[in-house]
Structure 1
Amino acid sequence: MIKIKKGVLLCLLMFTSFLNAQFIVTGKVTDTTNEPIEFVNVVFLNIENNEIIKGTITDEKGNFTIKSDRKGEFNLQISFVGFENYIKSINSSINLENIILNSINELDEVVIAARKKIIEKKEDKIIFNVQNTTLNNGNDGIEVLKNAPIIWVNNANQVLIRQEPATVLVNGRKINLTGTDLSNYIKNIDSENIQTIEIQTNTSANIDGNVTGGIVNIILKKKPLGLNANVKSYYTLYNKELFDLYNGASLNYGSEKWNAYLLYNFTKNKGNGNFNSEFIIKENLQSQLTEGYFNNQKDNHNYRLGFVSELSKNQEFGLEFYGTNSNNTFNSNNNIIIKENDPIAKGDNSLKEFSKKYIYNTILNYNYKIDTLNGNIKIIVDYLRHNFNNIADNNSVYEFGNFIDNTEKNTTNSKTDIYSIQADLFKQFFKKFKTDVGTKYITTKRYNGLLSETLTNNTYISNDRTSEFDYKENILAGYISVGYNLDEKNYFKIGLRIENTDFTSLDKINGDRNTHNYNSWFPSLYYSRELSNKNSISFSYSRRLRRPSFNTLNNRVNKINDFRFDIGNPNLNPEFINKYEISLNKKNNFFSIYLNNITDAINGVWRIENDIAIHQNLNYGTNKQYGFEYSLKSNLTKWWEVTGIGELFHKNFKNFNFNLNKTTTFFNLQNSIKINKNTSLTISGNYMSPFLSANYINAENYTANLTLKKSFLNNKLNVRFYYDDIFNSQRDRNNAEFTDSNFSFFQKRNTRSFTIWLQYSFITKNKSRNSRNNSNNDTKGRL
């Protein structure tokens, strides 16, 4: 019996000794985009001779567990082809949590791309992995976005999500340009430099409250050293006299610790169109018909100069200057016919305008990585100056009727200064919590001046429409956003943004002053659950506001002709938007049901005063839109890829006079056909049935386009031929009912065109780093 007890005691001592000797190391391996890496080698190495003692590999989620039954100290080595090795000394059990492997060179990014699906869902973002598609060479940023899911890029190169302009970011920082300036910027991003496109239909707390649409974030590749340059040119022909011309060049050079870049382009546009519009005054059934044509010419210069430097391993500093100058000439001639039962007046009106605009923008970025807190601090300082000057000569001559011929000159000047500073802190706690906190301050100063003069006895004399107006606005914002992985399948994110807005407006002619201060709360909520086969379902909610543009926040009165005027409104309030969405993501298919509810909606309203039509922006009711959206991106064959959006939505506009409803269908389809290794053909088109915009009912619209692409010299030279709006079908047509009138409008611009496009790239053996400065000054969009 004693021997048995001794044997049991000896076994217990040996087992205890074994437990004391064994230790376990766990962790998760990801790349710099936080993407899990599968099949990574994880080994224990003998410190003295690097002999492998024990080894394992990571699973599909990047997780690993490795055990040792030996005492002592070992080197833990984590390695994967194309990445820098991770080595850490280990002598006891430890959970290393998230281990990030850095890529070695550009080849590594190809390795990463090869492991990723083309489209993935990650937290509240849809990830489009560009480098894993045929778009990864010889395309520009606009072409990439045209092929991305959910996004619609129309023929004017506007980036839209659910018919609303999207906010575009590069590497997480907002590009504060609009219209052709924004499209030109995106066109100058080569697809070779784009790693992924992140798409959000919901809006997070870290985004300005004034951002109401979806978000498109272009993530650039991290490149090694060297020189990268390209020149680009295209010519678009509408007819013998109408064209668009673009010439541009960019240069990017990076060394071990710094990166410099330069971009310049010049555009010249000549266009024309015809139009007609009519008011029917309800009281006397008087018709006011205006019909005519217009032509315009615009010259535009854009330039950007930037510098980014790594001050230390954890610090980066950047400075950028951006500028644009443009001259625009606009001429219009139209007939004016006033009739009740019979014509009572007929005249000719001519308008000649010349405008000059310039924007200067300076951006300073500072980033600091806090290793001890597993976090990052970002500071952005931004200054923008915007000047606009316009001279308009307006002349009216009447064939008959009780109206007096007249000539006017209207000189408009606006000056805007916007200053902003922003600080953000990102921190990750353990593996489950991600926290974003930040603050932002924006101050805007705006001057609007109008000198209106009437020609009297060969002398221009100022009339009563002359005005001067000052506007100052201060916005102080703070936010917090927390994301939490409940478990491997459930993700939850909640955020709150608070903005205080204080503004003062001053009429410098009569001395009227208006001040206002208000607080706005913007909660946001997102929840997603992963289903089987990597499918997922999600719900989101956010509250947003849309502030009126600075162009309307004044008291100016602009003359269109003797019977139509457009006036400002310094008393406009912002409109508020509540957005709800339920989405199902199934492989490369996306299904969404959504509701957008807008209160105090800002709309352009016409009213009649003494038989004169006056247009003014007002807070004019509520808009509701709910709908179903389906988006897909699929390779039907090895040579045929389809990208499409289909949408069925219903809009309701309601105020004290009207309750209007309209159901609309929309689809956009793009077929990319690969003819051979260097040649492809794209056939695209879109259609929208009649739709409601406030109390305007817009006619259906459709278009079809063809693009042929060919590359030469190992993809250094790329050539394209575009045939846009094949059926010449693009036009604007709408009608609306107002309290005292009915209004109809038609306009046709030159839209059918043929374009030849050329780009040549100069690349050294080691490509440039492609770091960039960008701004988060969302106020610019209101210019």
Structure 2
Amino acid sequence: MKIWKASLSFTLFFLFLSTIKVTAQQGTVTYTGRVVDKSSGQPVAYATVMIADNETQEPITGSTTLEDGSFSLETSASNYYIEISFIGFEKKVMRPSVSNGKTIDLGIIGIEEDAQQLEEVVVEGEVSQTVFKLDKRVFNVGKDLSTTGASALEVLNNVPSVNVNIEGQISLRGSEGVQVLINGKPSILTSDENNALGTITADIIDRVEVITNPSAKYDAEGTSGIINIVLKKEEKKGLNGSVSVNTGAPNNHSVGISLNRRTEKFNLFTQLGAGYRELPNEVTVRNTDLTTGNGILSNGDEFRNETFYNFILGTDYYFNPTSVLTLSGNFALEIEDQPSTTNFAALDSSGDFTSEWERTEVTDARNPKFQYELQYKKDFEDDEDHDLLFSALGNFFGKDQSSEFLDVTLSGEDRDAEQNTRTNFQESIFTFKLDYTKPFADKFSVETGAQYILNDVSNDFEVQNLENGQFVTNPGLTNIFEFDQNVLGVYGTAAYEGKKWGLKAGMRLENTDLGTLLVNTDEANDQNYTNLFPSVHTSYKFSEKISLQAGYSKRIYRPRLWDLNPFFNIRNNFNFRQGNPNLLPEFTDSYEVTGIFFIGKTSLNLGLYHRYTTDIIERISTFENNVNIRRPENIGTNNAWGVEFNTKYSPANWLTFNLDFNYNTFAREGSLDDTVFDFSAEQWSSKLLTKIKLPWDIDFETTGNYRSAFQTVQGEINEIAFLNFGVRKKIMKGKAVLNLSVRDAFASRIRENQIVQNDFEVFNRSFRARFVAFGFSYGFGKGEAMQYSGGRRR
């Protein structure tokens, strides 16, 4: 193509030089005009306008139309015709009379679609469709999506079992704990910290792979599923981007811009954003000592106000079509203000107040966050699934926080007091990963690789009490907690996949080296354990419409930092959440059988699952002097059976329903000290997402959520039902969007937790109220208008 263009340019230049003398003697004629689609009247940009010799039919000169369809072309030839052409349209030939030395306006020139040519380019598979693979489902993106200018988020919305709401949150089978990959590797563009998938357009997406039960290739400590977006080899070039402005109540304001520039060798992407948001929370807690009848009642409003800034910069460099190097970084800064006011009352056995006081908090914090990645991927030419991937990712999060607490007596017993706290927190996580996949023939493949994760944390926490006019450190609540965890994993899988039946088996070995240290008291807890995590997956395809998949995997849940850290927030100093440095990990054997059915316009997923968990972690409350301390403990086993149903149904082009339903029954066996926690219970949840396409490019969406009440080891958690809705209006020919969303429209999302024991009761209620947000977004280039959210809170 480049040689042809160069040859044509040279030819035109040569013809121009050779006709200078003739032009000077006879003059030139200039033709102008405007090319439009005859059926719609819309301008046709980049159509080819050529002047060619009547006898030889060789081109004399040529040009392309501008964005508005206009063109200007001049010639000094004496025997020629004008030809206008564009892909998908019939050629139009014009033979104007020769009139040198003048400018001739050809006016509006209408061209018609070439029905025969359009029929020729329609091939099987141009409509998006789902293909069943051994341990995943593959959604192939056809021209019905790739030619619409949609973003990756809209493509995901068409994938069975995947939902994307108006705010851009992705869920798989009703759960939001989803890992999104691009070309099999993590990307800052898909991180929970950002919302930049709108810069990836449908025309460069080849397929979307959905994995609901990950194999041994993936972390044994996994998520609810994996979504892998595979881009086409011949990615379209150009500039994509979006800018958005958002506001809301309670205060939630932000502005952001996302850019993506693709060339033959480089893909450059960036995102900049800033904003301010508030997160109020109304909390009520009642502690009752059943032995004495005394109690503490607290009620207050907590706020977390945050000013945030975010910057992303990254690039993909293509050494050649099969090798790409990615380098990217993300910096974010959160400046927090956490004012709160809590009213306390002490009650006697008759329910009368013996004292009342008010506790106020002033908290300031600065939270810097860094994330960077270096990745190299090599695709081998013998097979599209033969590849090598190396990645190195780093994350850093810091918190420098100070708090002031003031207790003021309102009546009764003197409760005046002052406390200060100081926190210096630093966390670094480094992940190194190597994956290699090799297919053999058409039916066999192997995967192997390794991963090493280093997690280093230090939390310096101090509490001071005002005594005799001076602040004195409280040694029982002050310490430096250090947490180091290194996890090394290696894996191998082998798979056979025939036309109807397939089998994939693998083994992952992980070694965990964990150490915690309380520096001031020199209390250390070191753990080192090695575990095998097998996985087996099989599938059978009865037809293109019916498929059955089954799988087994062993999973692990390692205690998080805040599960282990023994220190806590003293905002409410009668109710604490405390960590346990001696916690052991949970292990789960997970079995799953899923049937996938396509009936007309409906996709159905019906699954049965069984999960057996050992050393399960539960937060256990202990009670003394009306103070409730909740601490995680390993208390036994959990044996759960359940059914999961998911469907996506579109009875009409303008109406879509997504229904998720989950029911499970579980049996608990365990004890702690002299307390036995054996019991059986059940729970269920459902979510109904309704999408309606209204006239005038308006989309309306509602999401109804329900979760039943269920029993816990010490009490019960209440049922919850709430409704979210959103409205989106496209303007400016779809390049801009107005967006309105309301979370918890009826202010019904109230969380209540009741702990009932022989000698005490604790009731906890929290309510975050209704959130309303309004935004304007504008997409340019091939980018789609999208909302900038500012990233996930820490």
TM-score, normalising length: structure 1: 0.77
1:673 aligns with 2:685: no
Structure 1, residues 428-453: CA drift from partner, whole Å, max 9, x if none?
Answer: 01111121100111222211111211
Correspondence list, 1:480-495, <5 A: 480-485=492-497, 487-495=498-506
Query: Does the Cα contact within 8 Å between 1:364 and 1:382 map onto a contact in 2?
Result: yes
When residues 640 and 388 of structure 1 are mapped into structure 2, their CA distance, relative to the original with a 3 A threshold, is same
| C-alpha distance in structure 1 between counterparts of 2:531 and 2:302, whole Å | 43
- Residue 658 of structure 1 corresponds to 677
TM-superposed deviation, 1:131: 5.8
- Residue 432 of structure 2 corresponds to 421
- Residue 662 of structure 2 corresponds to 647
Structure 1 stretch displaced more, 347-356 or 410-419: 347-356
TM-superposed deviation, 1:308: 1.1
Query: Which amino acid is the alignment partner of residue 302 of structure 1?
Result: N
| C-alpha distance in structure 2 between counterparts of 1:277 and 1:185, whole Å | 40
Residue 761 of structure 1, aligned match among 779, 785, 788:
779
Query: Which amino acid is the alignment partner of residue 460 of structure 2?
Result: G
Structure 1, residues 652-679: CA drift from partner, whole Å, max 9, x if none?
Answer: 4442222344333322222222334733
Correspondence list, 1:601-750, <5 A: 601-656=616-671, 657-676=676-695, 678-692=697-711, 695=714, 697-738=716-757, 740-750=759-769
- Residue 552 of structure 2 corresponds to 541
TM-superposed deviation, 1:128: 4.4
When residues 224 and 505 of structure 1 are mapped into structure 2, their CA distance, relative to the original with a 3 A threshold, is same
- Residue 237 of structure 2 corresponds to 225
Structure 1, residues 477-507: CA drift from partner, whole Å, max 9, x if none?
Answer: 101122211x321011111111001122222
When residues 253 and 608 of structure 1 are mapped into structure 2, their CA distance, relative to the original with a 3 A threshold, is same
| C-alpha distance in structure 2 between counterparts of 1:603 and 1:112, whole Å | 56
| C-alpha distance in structure 1 between counterparts of 2:753 and 2:717, whole Å | 4
1:390 aligns with 2:438: no
SS of 2:570's partner is strand
Query: Does the Cα contact within 8 Å between 1:126 and 1:200 map onto a contact in 2?
Result: yes
TM-superposed deviation, 1:749: 0.9
When residues 141 and 409 of structure 1 are mapped into structure 2, their CA distance, relative to the original with a 3 A threshold, is farther
Query: Which amino acid is the alignment partner of residue 625 of structure 1?
Result: A
When residues 519 and 221 of structure 1 are mapped into structure 2, their CA distance, relative to the original with a 3 A threshold, is same
1:564 aligns with 2:572: no
| C-alpha distance in structure 1 between counterparts of 2:583 and 2:395, whole Å | 24
SS of 2:213's partner is coil
1:367 aligns with 2:377: yes
| C-alpha distance in structure 2 between counterparts of 1:782 and 1:673, whole Å | 31
Correspondence list, 1:485-524, <5 A: 485=497, 487-524=498-535
Structure 1, residues 348-383: CA drift from partner, whole Å, max 9, x if none?
Answer: 222222222121112100112344697311111122
| C-alpha distance in structure 1 between counterparts of 2:156 and 2:761, whole Å | 39
TM-superposed deviation, 1:617: 2.0
| C-alpha distance in structure 2 between counterparts of 1:612 and 1:639, whole Å | 56
TM-superposed deviation, 1:728: 2.1
Correspondence list, 1:118-133, <5 A: 118-128=129-139
Structure 1, residues 701-746: CA drift from partner, whole Å, max 9, x if none?
Answer: 2223333333233322222333443322222122233575322211
SS of 1:585's partner is strand
TM-superposed deviation, 1:185: 4.6
Structure 1, residues 516-553: CA drift from partner, whole Å, max 9, x if none?
Answer: 21002111111111113431112111111111112332
TM-superposed deviation, 1:126: 2.9
| C-alpha distance in structure 2 between counterparts of 1:617 and 1:261, whole Å | 42
Query: Does the Cα contact within 8 Å between 1:301 and 1:326 map onto a contact in 2?
Result: yes
Query: Does the Cα contact within 8 Å between 2:360 and 2:407 map onto a contact in 1?
Result: yes
Structure 1 stretch displaced more, 435-444 or 654-663: 654-663
When residues 271 and 453 of structure 1 are mapped into structure 2, their CA distance, relative to the original with a 3 A threshold, is same
Structure 1, residues 628-653: CA drift from partner, whole Å, max 9, x if none?
Answer: 22211122023222222122222444
TM-superposed deviation, 1:199: 2.5
Residue 210 of structure 1, aligned match among 216, 221, 239:
221
| C-alpha distance in structure 1 between counterparts of 2:185 and 2:382, whole Å | 25
TM-superposed deviation, 1:598: 2.3
SS of 1:551's partner is helix
| C-alpha distance in structure 1 between counterparts of 2:776 and 2:516, whole Å | 49
| C-alpha distance in structure 2 between counterparts of 1:282 and 1:369, whole Å | 68
| C-alpha distance in structure 1 between counterparts of 2:288 and 2:203, whole Å | 56
Correspondence list, 1:210-609, <5 A: 210-220=221-231, 223-236=235-248, 238=249, 242-339=250-347, 340-341=349-350, 342-371=352-381, 375-400=386-411, 404-464=415-475, 465-485=477-497, 487-587=498-598, 588-609=603-624
- Residue 47 of structure 1 corresponds to none
SS of 1:721's partner is strand
When residues 509 and 723 of structure 1 are mapped into structure 2, their CA distance, relative to the original with a 3 A threshold, is closer
TM-superposed deviation, 1:289: 1.7
Structure 1 stretch displaced more, 133-142 or 250-259: 133-142
Query: Which amino acid is the alignment partner of residue 283 of structure 2?
Result: F
Query: Which amino acid is the alignment partner of residue 342 of structure 2?
Result: N
TM-superposed deviation, 1:186: 5.1
| C-alpha distance in structure 2 between counterparts of 1:172 and 1:739, whole Å | 53
TM-superposed deviation, 1:616: 1.7
| C-alpha distance in structure 2 between counterparts of 1:584 and 1:608, whole Å | 48
Query: Does the Cα contact within 8 Å between 1:121 and 1:585 map onto a contact in 2?
Result: no
Query: Which amino acid is the alignment partner of residue 779 of structure 2?
Result: S
When residues 513 and 762 of structure 1 are mapped into structure 2, their CA distance, relative to the original with a 3 A threshold, is same
| C-alpha distance in structure 1 between counterparts of 2:585 and 2:762, whole Å | 26
Query: Does the Cα contact within 8 Å between 1:283 and 1:740 map onto a contact in 2?
Result: yes
Query: Does the Cα contact within 8 Å between 1:651 and 1:692 map onto a contact in 2?
Result: no
Query: Which amino acid is the alignment partner of residue 466 of structure 1?
Result: T
5+ residue gaps, structure 1: 1-80, 83-106, 769-780
Query: Which amino acid is the alignment partner of residue 750 of structure 2?
Result: R
| C-alpha distance in structure 1 between counterparts of 2:684 and 2:219, whole Å | 31
When residues 516 and 354 of structure 1 are mapped into structure 2, their CA distance, relative to the original with a 3 A threshold, is same
Query: Does the Cα contact within 8 Å between 1:484 and 1:492 map onto a contact in 2?
Result: yes
| C-alpha distance in structure 1 between counterparts of 2:467 and 2:156, whole Å | 55
When residues 533 and 143 of structure 1 are mapped into structure 2, their CA distance, relative to the original with a 3 A threshold, is closer
Structure 1, residues 389-433: CA drift from partner, whole Å, max 9, x if none?
Answer: 221212223345556421111111111122221111110011111
Query: Does the Cα contact within 8 Å between 1:394 and 1:561 map onto a contact in 2?
Result: no
SS of 1:552's partner is helix
RMSD, aligned CA = 3.3
When residues 118 and 726 of structure 1 are mapped into structure 2, their CA distance, relative to the original with a 3 A threshold, is farther
- Residue 22 of structure 1 corresponds to none
When residues 220 and 376 of structure 1 are mapped into structure 2, their CA distance, relative to the original with a 3 A threshold, is closer
Query: Which amino acid is the alignment partner of residue 647 of structure 1?
Result: N
Query: Does the Cα contact within 8 Å between 2:669 and 2:678 map onto a contact in 1?
Result: yes
State, as a whole percentage, how many aligned pairs show the same letter: 25
When residues 344 and 679 of structure 1 are mapped into structure 2, their CA distance, relative to the original with a 3 A threshold, is closer
TM-score, normalising length: structure 2: 0.76
When residues 287 and 698 of structure 1 are mapped into structure 2, their CA distance, relative to the original with a 3 A threshold, is same
Query: Which amino acid is the alignment partner of residue 672 of structure 1?
Result: K
| C-alpha distance in structure 2 between counterparts of 1:316 and 1:613, whole Å | 55
TM-superposed deviation, 1:251: 1.3
Query: Does the Cα contact within 8 Å between 1:149 and 1:644 map onto a contact in 2?
Result: no
Query: Does the Cα contact within 8 Å between 1:436 and 1:482 map onto a contact in 2?
Result: yes
| C-alpha distance in structure 2 between counterparts of 1:738 and 1:482, whole Å | 51
| C-alpha distance in structure 2 between counterparts of 1:135 and 1:536, whole Å | 27
Which has the larger Rg? 2
Query: Does the Cα contact within 8 Å between 1:260 and 1:307 map onto a contact in 2?
Result: yes
| C-alpha distance in structure 2 between counterparts of 1:682 and 1:420, whole Å | 38
| C-alpha distance in structure 2 between counterparts of 1:189 and 1:355, whole Å | 35
SS of 2:269's partner is strand
